[in-house]
Chain A
Amino acid sequence: MDLSDPPVTALYFDGRSSRARPVMLSVADGKLVTCGEDVERRDALAVLRLSEPLGHAPRLVTFPDGAHCEVSDDAAFRRMLARSGQRDAPVVRWQFSRTAVAVSLAVLVACLVLAHEWLLPRLARQVAERVPAELATRVSDETLAMLDANVFGPSQLPVARQQALSARLATLKQADMPTVRPQLLFRQGRPMGANALALPSGLIVVTDELVALARNDEEILGVLAHEMGHVSQRHGLRLAIESSAVGLFAAWYIGDVSALLAGVPAALSQARYSRGFEREADDFAARLLVLNGIPVGRLADILERMDGPPEPLEGGSRTGSEHSRSPFAYFATHPLTAERIHRLRAAP
């Protein structure tokens, strides 16, 4: 039966010199027969190293003594081997099967989605919790200095009013451990308008415009409670960690040194994450307000009138583009405020 196969031509190298000798290969009784000028050998298939098929590359047969054959006609060689019962390793068969490659690709994408949706948020939370307080403070101070220089103006609010609000905030009862010790700062919002920001160290910046917009102090406390939620859950750091991880991955994958393009996936995932963070902060605020006898609806009331909902300010080292740091980018990434208002109103 085996003899019905035509022999396959190959080049034989004895491993001691690089001289090529043309030979004919055939299989008989589980042995590879190599025949040519000056060459005549029979080797059991089991002791040979058969290189894996690789598209258009020649197949290599290596003998135990270091000699080898180069076979250009892979198709004929494969037919010959198949008839003698040789089978490629599963991985090799997958590599060249369209179905297997498509399935692998689908599983790969699923892994990527899982890593992004499940693994990354958990890892970021772990890392954020281990960030030392000094680092959080330094990052926050730097961010504040940057904002003071570029965005905010000094607050025009009377000192007595500032102190009254700070005092009111300090008396809020907190159920969650560890408690957040927020420090209130007042600034003129300018392009940010009526807004509030939480920095990782616990600094909360309130704009004059927000104080003016509020119909009563309970609305302001609602916003502050929301910001405390961001601080308590370390949202600023988590966001920074998550978006820099995505940015780094994209930069590595695309091979783009400028980080210009890598910033896009980072910004996209940031928008998606911040929606979850807003929800967490709202839940925190709702619990805090209920505990202090303030109607949760107050937060919803002021949200309806704000330019944009309060936003955690990212801090920490990140590689994303400078654009996403600009306050204007925030408004583009805001989660649906209407949905949040609805949730708050529905809260007990």
Chain B
Amino acid sequence: MDKQDNALPVVFSGEGRDYFGIWVVNLLLTVLTLGIYSAWAKVRRMHFFYRHTSLAGAAFDYHGEPLSILKGRTLAFLMFMAYQISAETQPMVAAIVLLVLMAVMPWLLHRSLCFRMHNSSYRGLRFVFRGSVRQAYVVFLGLPLLILVSLGLAFPLWVHALKVYQYGSSAFGRSGFHCALSRAEIYRIYLVAGMVAIGVTVAITLLLGLGVAETLSVEEGAETRALAMAGGVALLAGFAMMLCVAPFVAAGVQNAVWNGLSLGPHRFRSAVSGRRLAFITLTNLLGVILTLGLYRPFAELRLMKYRLQSISMLPDGDLDDFVALIEADVAAIGEESAEMFDVDVGL
């Protein structure tokens, strides 16, 4: 009970109106510069989200430099082009390029995580990513191969390892985060999701089967009917997954990760509701369609706001103690070398 009372909620104060302007100008300049401006656009976007997010009265800050991001994007673009060009002319070379890409990708993703954490700060203290490169190879190369071999059964295992690596290897100043995420919990989330997915698909198939049988006249061939039905089932099932499965998985994973996360003696709580997330997904989709796309920045903001504001910190003791503790934590900022760059991946 005591912990409930002094919970520190994450507050997000960004407004769609302001973000819309940033989004439009970002998009225009990105198009006019054939993508080069996208690095600057990303910095502006990150600033908007970080600086509107606050905890215990102080905001977060983003320090990424556009040129580092541009470097990372250029690298990714060159690698992609190398693969594309070789794939068209020399399939053997393309295979080698692909192997090289697979071999360096974990290292790049590790640099990217370092970049992101290092460039995030709160109350003037930077975050740090302490994960090892070796672990990056396990998470970004070993386990994905295991997913292939296990025909997808190892997918929750990978999600677990990724989250533990991403969150559990981070630190704020000198205090490290600890991520006590159980594999069983992640497996439970995906097991339920899998069963719902199968149930929904079966239900749609049955309902559509009845409907199609009644509406289609006999003169059209049975094959045509089967084909039309298969298409219909695939479309509706895809739509149902988007509303009945994906939001619940996202909510479950976010809650599991944050409820198991601790920073020193302080804990976190996340209370995302899958139903609410599904509602936001549906209304966002409708908004984007009805406004011919203009609602998109508002939709993005709305989703982000909900997910952020579902998180709160449970300090051990009261707010002053928490502040005192982190105030005592003197940052060991041995500025990392300028070798860092950002590689965009949807982590």
Q: Known contacts being A54-B52, A107-B28, A108-B28, is A96 close to B13, with CB within 8 Å?
A: no
Q: Nearest CB to that of B240 among chain A residues? A: A258
Interface-forming stretch among A60-68, A179-187, A200-208, A307-315? A60-68
A51 at the interface (CB under 8 A from B): yes
Q: Which of B216-245 contact A (CB under 8 A)?
A: 220-221, 223-224, 227-228, 230-232, 234-239, 241-242
- The proximity string for B residues 321-343 relative to A, scoring 1 for CB distances below 8 Å and 0 otherwise, is 00100111111010000000000
Chain B residues positioned under 8 Å from A261 (CB to CB): 285, 289
B25:A260 contact, CB within 8 angstroms: no
B293 at the interface (CB under 8 A from A): yes
B24:A17 contact, CB within 8 angstroms: no
- The proximity string for B residues 51-78 relative to A, scoring 1 for CB distances below 8 Å and 0 otherwise, is 1101000110100000000000000000
A57:B235 contact, CB within 8 angstroms: no
Q: How large is the interface on A (under 10, 10 to 19, 20 to 34, 35 or more residues)?
A: 35 or more
Partner of A15, one of B24, B239, B289, B331: B331
B44 at the interface (CB under 8 A from A): yes
Interface-forming stretch among B119-127, B132-140, B147-155? B119-127
Chain A residues positioned under 8 Å from B32 (CB to CB): 107, 111
A258:B239 contact, CB within 8 angstroms: yes
B47:A51 contact, CB within 8 angstroms: yes
- The proximity string for B residues 22-47 relative to A, scoring 1 for CB distances below 8 Å and 0 otherwise, is 10110111011000000010001001
A322 at the interface (CB under 8 A from B): yes
Q: Known contacts being A57-B59, A322-B231, is A108 close to B24, with CB within 8 Å?
A: yes
- The proximity string for A residues 289-329 relative to B, scoring 1 for CB distances below 8 Å and 0 otherwise, is 00000000000000000000000000000000111001000
B333 → chain A closest CB, angstroms:
7
Residues on B facing A (Cβ under 8 Å): 13-15, 17-22, 24-25, 27-29, 31-32, 40, 44, 47-48, 51-52, 54, 58-59, 61, 122-125, 173, 220-221, 223-224, 227-228, 230-232, 234-239, 241-242, 246, 285, 288-289, 293-294, 296, 323, 326-331, 333
- The proximity string for A residues 52-75 relative to B, scoring 1 for CB distances below 8 Å and 0 otherwise, is 101111101000001110100000
A55:B24 contact, CB within 8 angstroms: no
- A94-B21, A101-B21, A322-B234 provided; 10 other pairs, C-beta below 8 A? A15-B331, A18-B125, A56-B14, A57-B47, A95-B25, A101-B24, A104-B28, A151-B224, A261-B285, A322-B232
What are 19 sample pairs from A and B whose C-beta atoms fall under 8 A apart? A17-B124, A18-B125, A20-B123, A52-B44, A57-B59, A70-B58, A91-B29, A95-B25, A105-B24, A108-B27, A111-B31, A150-B221, A150-B223, A254-B293, A257-B241, A258-B235, A322-B228, A322-B231, A322-B232
